[in-house]
Amino acid sequence: MIWTISQFPELDHLAPDQRAALLKNLPRWTYWVIVARSLALAFLVSGISISVTLRSFPPEVLIVMHVLLVALVATAYYLSQMRDLRRLMRNEIANGFRGQRPPFCFSCGYDLRASGTPLCPECGRETKTF
């Protein structure tokens, strides 16, 4: 799982100036917005779920359920937002290589700089020229 933007494997294949230019487009508050959205959704989902089951369980159980549900929903939504962000970043990188063969596989992230084949040696997918 990829928890931060700097862990995106696509970035490892970019030159330092390309990487810096790409990351410069991300606002500094990106993580805070993603975390805030994840927590807001998690508390909303958990609050609704707990209020529906309020009379069915003792308070100690409800607290544990609330904490677990918030953690689960917040983590799932955070990772989903990171996946969407990664997709946007891949599109941005692909636009930067328009008309050229990208230096890595967009499917698995394999480094294609030394490979001249039309298929990725790692995953077998076609290496696209955008």
Query: How many other CB atoms sit within 10 Å of the CB of residue 79?
Result: 15
Give, as ranges, the residues between 45 and 104 that touch Zn ion (CB under 5 A).
none
Does residue number 110 form part of the binding site for Zn ion (CB under 5 A)? yes
How far is residue 45's CA from residue 38's CA, in Å, rounded to a whole number?
11
Written as one letter, the residue type at 87 is: R
Q: Which stretch binds Zn ion (CB under 5 A): 19-27, 45-53, 69-77, 108-116?
A: 108-116
Q: Which is nearer to Zn ion, 92 or 122 (CB)?
A: 122
Q: How many residues does the chain have?
A: 130
Among 123, 126, 128, 129, binds Zn ion (CB under 5 A): 123
Tokens representing residue 96 in the block = 């930067």
Nearer to Zn ion, 67 or 123 (CB): 123
Nearer to Zn ion by Cβ, of 18 and 107: the residue is 107
**Which residues of the chain form contacts with Zn ion (CB under 5 A)?**
105, 107-108, 110, 120, 122-123
